[in-house]
């Protein structure tokens, strides 16, 4: 259970290879942290650099598109490792160059980024409500706040994930469980390596600090960096022709 300082004992990462999630785990690390479970496709090696030696890090097999199996997956993790204090939903894909024109590729991306987020998020929320505590941290994106022509399929999947996360947060209110949606901008990470940086780019550690602060303040939505909240207040109402010019 989270202590009075919002420090978790057990953390589950859905998308265990995410460098942003690893940075969040390091930021949340304290003397209270005991176990970290990295849920990733194929299981494999489990390690996060910079954690105290007494913290146990375990890899467990996880498939974001195994929608029917997510409820049992959470039950199995809890049975072996105990209650979940923080669950970080960190899996996702950008999609290839053809995703904006290939229906099959677009559908596959949506199945991971949106459908997988919904089924796994509900499975987590059901357990957190039953145990009466815990936080689901959903790594969304500013790409879903207003979709750009150059990545509108990816943006649409993140918009769906974000809407789901904020709605789920309202649905679990009063149960002891919480949901926090995190809206990073461009993050210098393995997933974005080789891409041209967008304005207000940040590092995984910056997102991690924003997440830790948001948990302490019991926020429902966190922007990383925080200035993007102001930026997108303006960009949301920008005329369409101007929005398209910004994306060139």
Model confidence at 248, pLDDT cuts 50, 70, 90, reads low
Mean pLDDT of 47-76: 93
Model confidence at 3, pLDDT cuts 50, 70, 90, reads low
pLDDT tens for each residue of 102-152: 999 999 999 999 999 999 999 999 999 999 999 999 999 999 999 988 899
Confirm whether 154 is a catalytic residue.
yes
Q: Side by side, which strands form the sheet with 86-89?
A: 56-61, 35-40, 10-14, 86-89, 135-139, 178-184, 221-224
Is residue 230 included in any domain, yes or no? Answer: yes
Angle, vertex CA 187, rays to CA 39 and CA 222, nearest 5: 80
- Do residues 82 and 131 lie in contact, with contact meaning Cβ atoms separated by under 8 Å? no
Residues of the chain above pLDDT 70, percent: 97
Q: How many CB atoms lie within 10 A of CB 216?
A: 11
pLDDT at site 88: 98
Q: Is 187 a residue whose pLDDT tops 70?
A: yes
Count of the separate structural domains present in the chain: 1
pLDDT tens for each residue of 164-176: 999 999 999 999 9
Is residue 95 included in any domain, yes or no? Answer: yes
Q: Is 42 a residue whose pLDDT tops 60?
A: yes
Dist. CA 50–CA 26, nearest whole Å: 7
pLDDT tens for each residue of 11-38: 999 999 999 999 999 999 988 899 999 9
CATH of the domain at 217: 3.40.50.720
Domain that holds residue 221: 10-246
Is residue 4 included in any domain, yes or no? Answer: no
- Do residues 150 and 245 lie in contact, with contact meaning Cβ atoms separated by under 8 Å? no
Quickly list DSSP for the chain: ---TT---SEEEEESTT-HHHHHHHHHH--TT--EEEEEETT------TT--TTSEEEEEE--TT-GGGHHHHHHHHHHHH---SEEEE-------TTTTT-HHHHHHHHIIIIIHHHHHHHHHHHHHHHHT--EEEEE--GGGTS--GGGHHHHHHHHHHHHHHHHHHHHHTTSS-EEEEEEE-SB-STTTTTSPPPTT-B-HHHHHHHHHHHHHTT-SEEEESTHHHHHHHHHTTS-HHHHHHHT-
Dist. CA 190–CA 131, nearest whole Å: 35
Dist. CA 158–CA 95, nearest whole Å: 12
Query: Of 154, 164, 186, 223, which one is the catalytic site residue?
Result: 154
- Do residues 207 and 223 lie in contact, with contact meaning Cβ atoms separated by under 8 Å? no
Q: How many CB atoms lie within 10 A of CB 72?
A: 11
pLDDT at site 247: 77
- Do residues 102 and 144 lie in contact, with contact meaning Cβ atoms separated by under 8 Å? no
């Amino acid at each position: 259970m989270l202590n009075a300082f919002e420090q978790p004992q057990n953390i589950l990462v859905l998308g265990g290879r995410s460098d942003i999630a690893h940075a969040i785990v390091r930021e949340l690390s304290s003397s209270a942290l005991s176990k970290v479970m990295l849920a990733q496709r194929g299981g494999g090696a489990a390690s996060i650099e910079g954690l105290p030696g007494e913290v146990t890090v375990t890899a467990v097999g996880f498939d974001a598109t195994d929608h029917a199996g997510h409820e049992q997956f959470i039950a199995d993790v809890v049975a072996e490792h105990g209650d979940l204090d923080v669950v970080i939903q960190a899996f996702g894909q950008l999609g290839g160059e053809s995703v904006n024109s290939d229906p099959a590729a677009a559908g596959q991306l949506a199945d991971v980024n949106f459908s997988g987020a919904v089924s796994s998020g509900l499975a987590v929320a059901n357990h957190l409500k039953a145990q009466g505590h815990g936080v689901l941290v959903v790594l969304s994106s500013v790409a879903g706040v207003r979709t750009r022509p150059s990545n509108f399929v990816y943006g649409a999947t993140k918009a769906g994930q974000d809407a789901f996360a904020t709605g789920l947060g309202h649905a679990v209110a009063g149960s002891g469980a919480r949901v926090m949606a995190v809206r990073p901008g461009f993050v210098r990470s393995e997933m974005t390596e080789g891409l041209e940086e967008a304005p207000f780019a940040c590092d995984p550690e910056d997102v991690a600090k924003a997440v830790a602060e948001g948990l302490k303040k019991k926020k429902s939505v966190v922007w990383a960096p925080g200035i993007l909240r102001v930026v997108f207040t303006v960009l949301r109402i920008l005329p369409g022709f101007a929005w398209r010019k910004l994306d060139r």
